[in-house]
Structure 1
Amino acid sequence: MKKETVSSYLNQYNLSTMFPDRVQQAMKLETYTGGNRLFSQGEKSDTLYLLVEGKLKVSRLSPEGKRLILAFKSPFDFVGDIEYIRKCTLINTVEAVTTTTVIRIPYEALENDMMNNAKWLQFLLETITHKFEVKSHAMNFSLLYAVDVRVASYLLAMTPDDTTLDSTSLVDMADLIGTSYRHLNRVLKQFEEQGWILKKRGKIKITNRDSMLKQLGHNIYE
């Protein structure tokens, strides 16, 4: 199997001509296994991440101490671009859902060689504008969607390759989708009775993705 490089990924996403050689030389490939964090909310930000393979979960801790899902990200996407523009600490917590590959670009390299690049600045503007649209939509999930829809969407988003999900962290899951632990358990029991999932030995496995998606209409987190 051919080993991918920074150059091959940039070519794949039609980005090779955007970045000059000096910036490309500063880029590094990094791979994370599912469940590992790229970074946490509040940490110092000094790197832009280009998501080129896998899936990421973006969440934020509210002032009330609740961690809520904002989005799931699939290639191609940026992480750390808002912090790059605002020169602030990291706004969200980002972790890998599946084995994930990112290209890391130090902010310093971008500041030195890209600040006068009109194509890059336009691309960055379009990306950030889209993110604010997604964020606005995500903040209304708790009001617009029933808990069963949020639970089903979360399960689908967290198991893209028909993998199982650890059910020992149901309290965390409840917080992430904005419901109570008790309500979450009721919904999961209903899903079992409908034949959509199977809970066994601390794991949750989706047994009928098609029926779940048909009932949802679409996955609200993607």
Structure 2
Amino acid sequence: MKEINDLEQVKSYLSAHQIESIFNEQIIPHLSLYTFEHGEFICSQGEASQYLYVLVKGKIKVYTTSAEGRTLILSFKTPLEVIGDIEYVQDINIINTVEAVSSVYMIGVQYYWLRKYGKDHAPLLQFLLDIITQKFHLKTNSMSFNILYPVEVRFASYLLSVSINESDSMNKEQLRISIKDAANFIGTSYRHLNRVIGQFCTEGLIERNKGFILVKDREGLRAIAGDNIYE
């Protein structure tokens, strides 16, 4: 993680995402810009939560870990997204681990300043309400998607979601994914997913090689996935 103390750059991101009003004049001086590289943790499950982060560039994944050490990916997020919102409202420890999937830029502010200057600021409260309710809506859609659509559609959507590519101009991308994690995420068996991977390889959509999957035809995957609801 790297902190960038550049208030003008922070304001530029706020303006770009049309969220200048959510932070009042008392909070803005306490905003910082943070960068995370691929594989870095933004926050870890069970730790004390101290910051509210607004994702303004890049892609992150959210996952949970059981007491036995098993992990389950819950979602992939792109801007505009907020981390630490539920923890701030409920005053609890971090619920899930959040990891950067690409280079990530986040605007961060300590809860202390939010509670001191923002607890009665209506635009901030409305923004948090919108974000939190949107998360529940997307979770409901994801659960329905896993029930209603075939594994081929769900896996194509998953591959597009885990992609760290930020430009559609690149048509090939090599991904290291856990087949077990992918199967758990899309709600199917390891064996069934292996059959679908074989099918996609035969159709020229992907190539499997030594633990990696090479995406050869992103547009073909998009055609199968339709709306990529995992983001």
Structure 2 CA distance for partners of 1:202 and 1:62, relative to 1, 3 Å: closer
Q: Tell me the CA shift for residue 193 of structure 1.
A: 0.3
CA distance in 1, matches of 2:80, 2:200: 32
CA distance in 1, matches of 2:101, 2:148: 25
Within the candidate set 183, 190, 200, 2:192 is matched to 183
What's the CA shift string for 1:33-53, capped at 9, x where partnerless?
223221222222111110000
Q: Tell me the CA shift for residue 201 of structure 1.
A: 4.1
What is the DSSP-based 3-state SS (H/G/I as helix, E as strand, rest coil) of the residue aligned with 1:116? coil
Within the candidate set 101, 104, 108, 2:108 is matched to 104
Within the candidate set 167, 189, 199, 2:208 is matched to 199
Aligned pairs for 1:124-135 within 5 A: 124-135=128-139
Structure 2 CA distance for partners of 1:163 and 1:208, relative to 1, 3 Å: closer
Structure 1 residues 125-134 or 175-184, which shifts more? 175-184
CA distance in 2, matches of 1:24, 1:153: 37
On the 8 A contact 1:49/1:104 being kept in 2, the answer is yes
On the 8 A contact 2:73/2:181 being kept in 1, the answer is no
What is the DSSP-based 3-state SS (H/G/I as helix, E as strand, rest coil) of the residue aligned with 2:27? helix
In the other structure, the counterpart of 1:44 is 48
What is the DSSP-based 3-state SS (H/G/I as helix, E as strand, rest coil) of the residue aligned with 1:187? helix
In the other structure, the counterpart of 2:29 is 25
What is the DSSP-based 3-state SS (H/G/I as helix, E as strand, rest coil) of the residue aligned with 1:50? strand
What is the DSSP-based 3-state SS (H/G/I as helix, E as strand, rest coil) of the residue aligned with 1:155? helix
Structure 2 CA distance for partners of 1:217 and 1:16, relative to 1, 3 Å: closer
In the other structure, the counterpart of 1:165 is 175
Q: Tell me the CA shift for residue 63 of structure 1.
A: 8.1
Q: TM-score, normalised by structure 1?
A: 0.87
CA distance in 1, matches of 2:153, 2:193: 11
- For these two proteins, the number of residue pairs brought into alignment is 219
On the 8 A contact 1:27/1:103 being kept in 2, the answer is yes
Which amino acid counterpart does residue 48 of structure 2 have in structure 1? K
Aligned pairs for 1:76-91 within 5 A: 76-91=80-95
Which amino acid counterpart does residue 173 of structure 1 have in structure 2? A
Report percent identity of matched pairs. 44
Within the candidate set 186, 209, 217, 2:218 is matched to 209
CA distance in 2, matches of 1:145, 1:42: 34
Q: Tell me the CA shift for residue 92 of structure 1.
A: 1.9
Matched, 1:57 2:61: yes
On the 8 A contact 2:174/2:212 being kept in 1, the answer is yes
Structure 2 CA distance for partners of 1:173 and 1:206, relative to 1, 3 Å: same
Q: Tell me the CA shift for residue 18 of structure 1.
A: 3.3
Q: Tell me the CA shift for residue 160 of structure 1.
A: 4.6
Q: TM-score, normalised by structure 2?
A: 0.84
Within the candidate set 6, 12, 16, 1:8 is matched to 12
On the 8 A contact 1:67/1:175 being kept in 2, the answer is no
What's the CA shift string for 1:187-206, capped at 9, x where partnerless?
21111001100123432111
On the 8 A contact 1:50/1:79 being kept in 2, the answer is yes
